[in-house]
Amino acid sequence: MKNIKDTFLNLFLRLVTGGMMFYYHGFDKITAGTDRWDRLGGRLSELIGLDFLSTPLGFMASFSESIVALFIMIGLFTRPSAFLLLFTMLIASLSNIITRGIDGSELSLIYF
């Protein structure tokens, strides 16, 4: 009986967190195009000093917040997907803490 509860709890958590990440954060970013990807990746590329990587890094962040969130929802490649999303939220959290302080970064910390 406990195994069934754990399975449904796992399914519920995957559907809720993956769905919220996709709907509220990922879909707009993945469909926005290269200008938005360039802005998203600009933060990390400035930190590492490689400005030409801003668009690919922004696409990777958009990809992990959209497609990878869908993978988590349906349970496909769950552990690698969770790692990619964890890394994206780590970078977002650190970026938000640096620019806005701890008060402006609670959402990215919660997803992290």
Q: pLDDT > 70: what percent of the chain?
A: 98
Give CA–CA dist 7/108, Å, rounded: 26
Which residues have C-beta within 8 Å of that of residue 103, sequence separation ≥ 6? none
The string of pLDDT tens digits covering residues 25-64 is: 889 989 988 888 888 888 778 777 788 888 888 899 899 9
Q: Reduce the DSSP state of residue 50 to 3 states and report it.
A: coil
